[in-house]
Amino acid sequence: MDQLPDPFAQSPLAPSLEEIEAIARHVVATLPEPFRKAAAEVALRVVDFAPDDILEQMQMEAFDLTGLYDGIPMTEKSNWDVPQGPDVVWLFRRPILDEWAERGDVTLAEMVAHVTVHEYAHHFGWSDDDIAAIDQWWL
């Protein structure tokens, strides 16, 4: 992966939604070629926290969810499916910042990159176990 943008290089303040999104978009743009086009077709939303309905549905607390893939994985799509909406990768800024601060062993750009890759991997149909086998950072 190319050099990731570092939002702290410009400011000691917590990065904005736009800065987190810029890191995530850089990650998507630098995915290996077989995945780049498919990933570019997925909507990317960066918000401070997951919406309440998502948290309730997943039975999670706001700070426990750093990202989410909302859609039908490519491995399960059919030409006969009626689209229910766009596939979306959600990144949740505040929980990402919280986990990054707690870990203390990765840069913020690395944290955002790993969450981004993890969520896009679900779009490609990879399970959490598949992702962990490829990306040892999750272990």
Domains and CATH numbers, the chain: 7-74+85-132 (3.30.2010.20)
Looking at residue 13, its amino acid is L
Average confidence (pLDDT) over 35-55: 94
Give 68-88 pLDDT, tens digit per residue: 999 988 888 877 777 678 899
Model confidence, pTM: 0.84
Q: How many CB atoms lie within 10 A of CB 49?
A: 15
Task: Provide the pLDDT confidence category of residue 10 given band limits of 50, 70 and 90.
Answer: low
CA-CA distance, 119 to 53, in Å (whole number)?
19
pLDDT tens column, 85-137: 889 999 999 999 999 999 988 889 999 999 999 999 999 988 777 777 666 55
